[in-house]
Amino acid sequence: MRAEEPALSDKSCQLEDLLIERRTALGKDLFYLTRYGRPLRQVVAAGVQLLPFDDGDGACDSGWCMT
Which pLDDT score, from 0 to 100, does residue 30 have? 85
Contacts of residue 63, defined as CB under 8 A and 6 or more positions apart, other chains included, come to none
Residue 3 pLDDT > 60, yes or no? yes
Of residues 46, 44, 51, the one with CA closest to residue 66:
51
Q: Residues 65, 56: contact at Cβ < 8 Å? A: no
Which pLDDT score, from 0 to 100, does residue 22 have? 95
Which pLDDT score, from 0 to 100, does residue 47 have? 53
Coil, helix or strand at residue 22: helix
Amino acid 66 reads M
Which pLDDT score, from 0 to 100, does residue 48 have? 55
13-61 pLDDT per residue, tens: 999 999 999 999 999 998 888 888 888 888 876 555 556 655 556 666 6
Q: Full-prediction pTM beyond 0.75? A: no
